[in-house]
């Protein structure tokens, strides 16, 4: 007798459930997607014990007819697809017909539903995939699905669940993000009888962002508005439109918000929450040269396009998509974000000695506050003794860079915030009020244009007085930014200044460098390096960009080859150009520990103000810090 057997349905269902239902949050996701597909406008999610004990979702959607209520638990039973052709243009979130049977096979599930057009509702009770009860009952139209004891019959999967807080945070993250995708709808999320999220219909995405994250986060965000790109499509006989439009809306944070993981990047494609490497790459390219490479911003992006332009049937949990015209989408995202960042020119602040505001540096919104509080709750006995893994908690907070990021501090200002806000001092009038108009708060680097230089600290940092406070500019990174833009602009216009080297530099290359060299030789040439092969794996450099000192030419070339090999092999020509310009700029820029004469300082500040992106150097470090007048007043207890 052979060894191969066909698995019973019950086992097969559990295997599939393993893919679709990985944790409580997956159940929440599937139920929410069903409710959204059912056209609901009100969603009430209740969770107990991180979703292990109970997950309940009630909606006011179209409900199910009596016969459908049972059919819904058959595998591959769906109302959303009729035939294979429909798979090419899926407009609903669900389509596989797998979620309900999968969830029902690993839990005790109760479905209560009533279709609008029917008088009575239907109750279906299932445990471990077995139907226990199916009867009529009276309900309001809509659907409530209650999932109890998740994985009670799959101990192996139960073992992989994390702590109650972590599981709740994942589930909360899902509800929150679907609520962002549907600002006009009502969402309530309750955990162990505490409301974690309770949002009424909002007029706009911005208002919903405010409801969820609060005003402080909103201040750190840049509204991308709505941009689009059209893809021309050939006319077909039955007058198809002449183009397909790709739209992008959303919010991103400025380069000052730097996060160490991608947990704050939320991507939606046609209303579906997804993970997508292509879009992540587009985002990091947008921040390339504005933020250090390992950092991520906060981003909430909605891409909308024709359903035929995107294949959603890529993965069982439907979190991955494939675009038919991926570079179009990539470039739309990258260029829109980059343009918005450059237009905004946000400024890095010097650490403020202001009395602490409630919750400053801690949660920004009530929502994250409740998550935070929850994390402090003792685990419910018998349920969770594991450690919370903070790295796995989805983040809702925007963190300013840690105070150590600005490499300079005013020693007089207390670095750690006092525990009790100092009482406001009664300042005698002789101290004089500040002249009117002395503290306009400009939160953008536009204020750089009329700085008055005061001097240099450590021959490295320029100190200057501005309309809105005291500024400190890192002379090396400032010059780096100026040169970077100059090199890029000259390259773009094809008018690079070069210098002949008196003696050609001879460079011996490793085999890997040789390959990179062959790949980018033309680009090197366009940027001003005149090179030619000189024997086996050796090149001669006869001319170099004018900015570079002859002694630096070799170093810069090797660096460019290294960057090109390490990071840029897969990325675009545009990124390669930026990488090359950044290397040249870094080598050629004024070093720190260099005394500068006043006219040179003047020139540097003016040239910096004229750059398109004076907030950070090509490697993503901040260039200018401001100690705002308001912070100065606060530090002297004048306000
Ligand atoms: P899919 O969503 O892929 O179709 P599911 O197993 O999630 O598969 O759901 C099966 C079917 O049950 C759906 O196609 C839909 O007709 C019905 N259904 C599920 N949830 C709801 C709901 N909340 N309201 C109305 N109908 C629902
Ligand atoms: Mg579904």
What is the arithmetic mean of pLDDT over 262-278?
A: 89
Q: Is the beta carbon of 38 within 6 A of some atom in ligand 1?
A: yes
Residue whose Cα lies nearest atom 7 of ligand 1: it is 99
Output the CA–CA distances (angstroms, integers) from residue 426 to 279, 430, 624, in the order listed.
55, 12, 34
> Ligand 1 centre from 147 Cα, in Å?
15
User: Whose atoms come closest to the Cα of 35: which ligand?
Assistant: 1
Determine the pLDDT at residue 214. Answer: 83
User: Sign of the C-alpha dihedral, residues 488, 489, 490, 491?
Assistant: positive
Q: Evaluate: CB of 80 within 6 angstroms of ligand 1.
A: yes
**Closest ligand 1 atom, CA of 101?**
6
**Alpha-helix residue ranges (DSSP H) falling in 242-325:** 277-287
Counting atoms of ligand 1 from 1, which one is nearest the CA of 34? 20
What band does 181 get if pLDDT is binned at 50, 70 and 90?
A: very high
Task: Pick the atom of ligand 1 nearest to 62's CA.
Answer: 25
Per residue in 387-434, pLDDT (tens digit) is 333 333 343 333 333 333 333 333 333 333 333 333 333 333 444 444
Say which ligand is closest to the CA of 104.
Answer: 1
Q: Which atom of ligand 1 is nearest to the CA of 73?
A: 6
Decide whether any atom of ligand 1 lies within 6 Å of the 353 Cβ: no
- What pLDDT was estimated at residue 356? 32
| 345 Rama sector, left if φ>0, alpha if ψ -120 to 50, beta otherwise | left
Residues recorded for the chain: 639
Ligand nearest to the CA of 114: 1
Cβ burial, residue 258 (10 Å; 0-12/13-18/19+): buried
The predicted model scores a pTM of: 0.66
pLDDT at 12 over 50: yes
pLDDT of residue 605: 94
Ligand 1 touching residue 394 (CB < 6 A)? no
Q: Whose CA is nearest to atom 17 of ligand 1?
A: 72
If one residue of 67, 100, 139 were mutated to test the ligand 1 pocket, choosing by the most ligand atoms within 8 A of its CB, it would be: 100
Residues by chain with Cβ below 5 Å of ion ligand 2? 34, 94, 99
* Cβ of 36 less than 6 Å from ligand 1: no
Q: Which two tokens stand for residue 582?
A: 């950044």
- State whether the beta carbon of 336 lies less than 6 angstroms from ligand 1: no
Closest ligand 1 atom to residue 35 Cα is 23
Asked whether 143 lines ligand 1 (CB < 6 A), one says yes
CA nearest ligand 1 atom 13, residue: 78
Query: Can you give the pLDDT at residue 430?
Result: 41
Per-residue pLDDT tens over the stretch 89-119: 777 887 777 899 999 999 999 999 999 989 9
Which band of pLDDT confidence, cut at 50, 70 and 90, is reported for residue 239?
Answer: low
Q: Per-residue pLDDT for 359 more than 50?
A: no
Judged by average pLDDT, the poorest of 247-251, 278-282, 350-354 is: 350-354
Closest-lying ligand 1 atom to the alpha carbon of residue 63:
25
Distance of CA 114 from the midpoint of ligand 2 (Å): 17
Check whether 570 has a pLDDT greater than 70. Answer: no
The average pLDDT across 339-359 equals 59
Contact 87, 105 (CB under 8 A): no
From atom 2 of ligand 1, which residue's Cα is the shortest distance away?
Answer: 94
Nearest-ligand number for the alpha carbon of 99: 1
Pocket test for ligand 1, best of 34, 105, 141, 316 (most atoms within 8 A of CB): 34
| pLDDT over threshold 50, residue 255 | yes
CA nearest 554: which of 505, 502, 484, 504? 505
**Which ligand is closest to the CA of 29, given by its number?**
2
Backbone angles phi and psi of 130, in degrees to 5: -100, 130
Question: Going by CA atoms, what residue is nearest to atom 18 of ligand 1?
Answer: 34
Examine the pLDDT at 439 and tell me if it is beyond 60.
Answer: no
Q: What angle do CA 332, 173, 209 make, to 5 degrees?
A: 60
**Strand duo 538-545 + 322-323: pairing:** unpaired
112 lines ligand 1 (CB under 6 A): no
Stretch 530-554: mean pLDDT, rounded?
Answer: 91
DSSP string, 325-382: THHHHHHHHHHHHHHHHHHH-B-EEPPP-PPPPTTTTS-SSHHHHHHHHHHHSPPPTT
- What spacing in Å lies between the alpha carbon of 368 and ligand 2's midpoint? 28
**Angle at alpha carbon of residue 357, lines to 354 and 359, rounded to 5°:** 135
Q: pLDDT band at 319, cuts 50/70/90?
A: confident
Please tell me the residue having the least CA distance from ligand 1 atom 19. Answer: 34
CA quadruple 408, 414, 418, 424: dihedral sign: negative
Ligand 1 lined by 99 (C-beta under 6 Å): yes
Q: Report the separation in Å between the CA atom of 317 and the middle of ligand 1, taken as the mean of its atom positions.
A: 15
- Identify the DSSP state of 346: B
Cα-Cα-Cα-Cα dihedral sign, residues 134, 136, 139, 143: positive
Confidence of residue 454 (pLDDT cuts 50, 70, 90): very high
Question: What percentage of the chain carries pLDDT values higher than 90?
Answer: 43
């Amino acid at each position: 007798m052979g060894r191969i057997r066909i698995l019973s349905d019950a086992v097969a269902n559990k295997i599939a459930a393993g893919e679709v239902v990985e944790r409580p949050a997956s159940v929440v996701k599937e139920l929410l997607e069903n409710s959204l597909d059912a056209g609901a406008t009100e969603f009430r999610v209740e969770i107990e014990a991180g979703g292990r004990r109970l997950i309940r979702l009630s909606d006011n959607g179209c409900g199910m007819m009596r016969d459908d209520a049972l059919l819904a638990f058959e595998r591959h039973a769906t109302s959303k697809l009729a035939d294979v052709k429909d798979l090419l243009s899926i407009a609903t979130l669900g389509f596989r017909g797998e979620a309900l049977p999968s969830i029902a096979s690993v839990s005790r599930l109760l479905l209560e539903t009533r279709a609008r057009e029917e008088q009575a509702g239907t109750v279906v009770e299932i445990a471990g995939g077995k139907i226990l009860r199916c009867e009529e009952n009276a309900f309001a139209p809509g659907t409530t699905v209650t999932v109890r004891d998740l994985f009670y019959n799959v101990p192996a999967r139960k073992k992989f669940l994390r702590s109650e807080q972590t599981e709740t945070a994942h589930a909360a993250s899902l509800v929150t993000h679907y609520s962002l995708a549907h600002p006009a709808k009502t969402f309530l999320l309750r955990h162990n009888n505490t409301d974690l999220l309770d949002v009424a219909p909002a007029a706009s995405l911005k208002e919903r962002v405010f409801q969820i994250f609060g005003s402080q986060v909103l201040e750190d965000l840049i509204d991308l508005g709505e941009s689009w790109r059209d893809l021309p499509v050939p006319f077909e006989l039955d007058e198809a439109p002449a183009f397909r439009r790709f739209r992008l809306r959303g919010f991103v944070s400025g380069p000052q918000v730097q996060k160490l993981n991608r947990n704050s990047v939320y991507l939606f494609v046609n209303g579906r929450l997804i993970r997508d490497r292509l879009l992540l790459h587009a985002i990091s390219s947008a921040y390339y040269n504005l933020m250090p490479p390992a950092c991520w911003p906060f981003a909430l992006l909605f891409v909308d396009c024709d359903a035929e332009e995107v294949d959603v049937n890529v993965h069982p949990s439907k979190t991955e998509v494939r675009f038919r015209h991926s570079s179009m989408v990539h470039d739309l995202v990258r260029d829109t974000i980059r343009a918005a960042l450059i237009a905004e020119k946000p400024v890095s602040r010097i650490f403020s000695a202001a009395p602490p505001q409630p919750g400053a540096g801690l949660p920004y919104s009530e929502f994250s506050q409740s998550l935070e509080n929850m994390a402090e709750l003792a685990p419910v006995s018998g349920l969770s003794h594991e450690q919370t893994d903070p790295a796995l908690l989805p983040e809702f907070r925007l963190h300013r860079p840690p105070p150590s990021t600005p490499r300079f501090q005013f020693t007089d200002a207390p670095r750690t915030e006092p525990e009790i806000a100092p009482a406001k001092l009664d300042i005698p009038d002789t101290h004089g009020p500040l002249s009117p108009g002395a503290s306009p708060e400009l939160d953008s680097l536009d204020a750089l244009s009329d700085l008055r230089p005061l001097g240099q600290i450590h021959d490295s940092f320029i100190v200057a007085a501005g309309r809105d406070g005291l500024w400190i500019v890192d002379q090396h990174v400032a010059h780096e930014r100026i040169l970077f833009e100059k090199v890029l602009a000259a390259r773009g216009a094809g008018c690079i200044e070069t210098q002949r080297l008196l003696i050609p530099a001879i460079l011996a290359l490793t085999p890997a460098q040789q390959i990179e060299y062959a790949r980018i030789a033309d680009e090197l040439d366009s940027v001003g390096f005149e090179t030619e092969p000189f024997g086996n794996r050796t090149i001669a450099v006869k001319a170099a960009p004018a900015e570079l000192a002859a002694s630096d030419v070799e170093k810069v070339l090797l660096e460019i080859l290294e960057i090109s090999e390490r990071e840029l092999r897969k990325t675009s020509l545009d990124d390669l150009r930026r990488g090359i310009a950044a290397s040249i700029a870094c080598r050629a820029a004024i070093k720190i520990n260099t005394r500068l004469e006043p006219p040179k300082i003047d020139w540097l500040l003016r040239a910096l103000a004229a750059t398109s992106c004076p907030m950070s150097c090509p490697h993503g470090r901040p260039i200018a810090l401001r100690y705002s007048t308001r912070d100065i007043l606060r530090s002297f207890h004048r306000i």
